[in-house]
Amino acid sequence: MNDCMLLFAQAKPLTPASLFGIILFVLAVAFLIGIPIAAVILRASLKWFASLDVGFGHAYWVIFLMAIISNVHHILFRLAFYGSLPERGEPDFSGLYGFPIIFCLQSLLIGAQFELSFLRACLVQLGTFLVVLLITIVVMAVFFIFALVVL
C-alpha cells in the first residue's frame, strides 16, 4: 500500500469544525483565484463572440451567480439520481447528465445580463467552456508530467 492510500485509509471522520474550515478554504480559493480567472475568460469570450466590452465587476458577479446556480444544480441532480450526496470514492456522473440543462441556464443568465440573444449567449458560453477546458487539460498535463518526473 503506498503512502497516499495509507493516508486515506487512516482518515478520521469529519467533524463540523473541520468541515466548516474546509468550506471556508474552498470559498476563499474560489473568490480569490477561480472566479477572477473565470471573469477574465468571460470578458474575453464576450469581446470575441459578442463584440461587447464589459467591466470586470459585472463579469465577476455574473460568474459568481453562475457558480451558485451550477452548485445548486449539481446538488439537486445528485440527490435526484442517487438519493444522497457522494461518499468518499463513489463515482458521480450526475454532473454529466445535467450538463445540457446547466449550459442552457448559464446561457440564459449571460443573455439576460448582457442583452444577447440565446444563440449568441450559447456561443459565448461555449467559448468560455472551451477555454476553461483547455486550461484544465494543460494544468492536468503539467501535474501529470510533474508526478512522473518526481516519482
pLDDT of 16 above 90:
no
What average pLDDT score do residues 122-151 get? 91
Q: Cβ atoms within 10 A of the Cβ of 79, count?
A: 12
pLDDT of residue 85: 67
Answer with the residue of higher pLDDT: 32 or 120. Answer: 120
Mean pLDDT, the chain, rounded, equals 84
Distance CA 143, CA 69 (A): 29
Distance CA 43, CA 40 (A): 5
Which pLDDT band holds residue 128 (cuts at 50, 70, 90)? very high
Question: Domain coordinates of the chain in residue numbers?
Answer: 17-85+92-150
pLDDT of 124 above 80:
yes
Residue 74, C-beta contacts closer than 8 angstroms, at least 6 positions apart: 94, 95, 98, 102
